[in-house]
Structure 1
Amino acid sequence: MRTHGWGGDPPETDAEATARIIAAAVECLRAPDAGADLAKVAVRLGITRQTVYRYFPSRDALFAAVAAERAEALVARLAAHLTHFSDPREALVEAMLHCVRMLPTDPLLSFIARPGRADALITTPDAPELTLDVLNRLPVDLGHLDVTQRALLAEHMVRLLQSLLLDEATGQREDCDLRRFLHACLDHHLAGQTIHS
């Protein structure tokens, strides 16, 4: 491992270097001129972009790591929001609506889905897997769905999020309108699920 740069304090291991790059990316996202920019991350650490690429082969790889680290906070926020919904269909729609409204405005998660930007992280091949991980940790009763059915549901959810979040007009739609649309798209996945009153 090369030790040039790093503000005169090079990491001792690759794991430390990786952690410091992720931390710098989070700091960049918190900054007033926030942006998912590898050059800004490199400058903050006193290293070159080539050094960042040594640990993360692409911008998407770095910010996927940031998203994975922030997933805990996202799951906690969604879980708290869903505590009042016993019907799994209502819970799924509310989870989706919460993401549509929250992701573009959270500085540490907005790079996942930036309205009008086709290069957002949500469009990468790993997005369905990340969505499935979040879905499996939510307090939503999906007990009757097998592994394949859950994966299909997660992919359907992320594809819907892609289309809604990348369309700048979504921000002007009423919540009740979006709920109707999301129910029409997702309810069939839970057609056999018992609804609790």
Structure 2
Amino acid sequence: MRRHGWAGNIPADDEEAVARIIDTARTAIDERGTVSVSEVAQTLGVTRQTVYRYLPTHEALLGAAALSSVDGFLDRVAVHLGSITDPTQAVVEGIAYTYEQIAHDKYLSLVLQPGKASALTAGVTSDMAISFGRSILQKFEVDWAAAGFADERLDELVEVMLRMLQSLIVDPGRPARTGNALRSFLTDWIAPSVRAHADMR
């Protein structure tokens, strides 16, 4: 690693460098809701090219900052949904709860809102999106493998959940479904598919 920049405090390794970049971005997002690569570089005492070496685009910077900050949301998922053991109920409530929380969590909004540097902007099959979706499912007390969802099959289930979330976010409906109406809709149309695949195991 080059021995200048970083305001004289050179990171010990690439992992530390990325952590500093993300922490700086999160501080700015907490203060103003967004951040630029130039601002991160200036704060850290490096060039923009140095930031791009670790996170190659502005979208990657915002996405990494957002994903590093969704722990609070995932903790709320665990509290709100952790006792659910039925896979179909878990999928329905996971979609509904996540959708309802977007308006109340700036980092979750960054991860999921189309038009921003988000998991959904990158695509519902992107590594970022699948990782986020798996994190939600892992908060449930569901034995996903025993329910017929392991490895690629679990990733496909995550993809279906994210595609439904994307659709709800892009067009909430007229009027938008919330609460029991949203859960009833998902139970009617999403739960049967989950149940059918679980029965194939």
Return the letter of the residue paired with 2:33: A
Give 2:142's aligned residue: 140
Q: Which residue identity is paired with 2:100?
A: R
Q: Give the equivalent residue in structure 2 for 1:41.
A: 40
Describe the superposition over 1:11-42 as per-residue Cα deviations: whole angstroms up to 9, x where unpaired.
243222111001112212211x2115323322
Structure 2 counterpart of 1:189, which letter? Answer: V
Query: Which runs of 5 or more structure 2 residues have no equivalent in the other structure?
Result: none
Query: Hey, what's the Cα distance between the residues in 2 that align with 1:47 and 1:168?
Result: 42
Q: 1:121 to 1:44 in 2, by over 3 A?
A: farther
Contact 1:28 1:36 in 2 (8 A): yes
Q: Which residue of 2 aligns with 1:167?
A: 171
CA distance in 1, matches of 2:174, 2:36: 26
Conservation of the 8 A alpha-carbon contact between 2:74 and 2:135: no
TM-score (normalizing by structure 2): 0.77
Q: Does 1:111 align with 2:110?
A: yes
Structure 1 residue matching 2:104: 3-state secondary structure: coil
Identity value in percent:
34
Deviations 1:77-102 (A, max 9, x none): 21111145454322322221111121
Q: Are the structure 2 counterparts of residues 38 and 110 from structure 1 closer, same or farther at C-alpha, using a change threshold of 3 Å?
A: farther
Structure 1 segments of 4 or more deviating over 4 A? Answer: 168-172
Alpha-carbon RMSD across the aligned residues, in angstroms, is: 2.9
Match of 1:28 in 2: 28
Equivalent residue letter for 1:29: I
What runs of 5+ residues in structure 1 fail to find an aligned partner? none
What is the aligned partner in structure 1 of residue 17 from structure 2? 17
For 2:185, the equivalent position in structure 1 comes to 181
- Matches of 1:3 and 1:169 in 2, distance apart? 55
**Which TM-score applies when normalising by structure 1?**
0.79
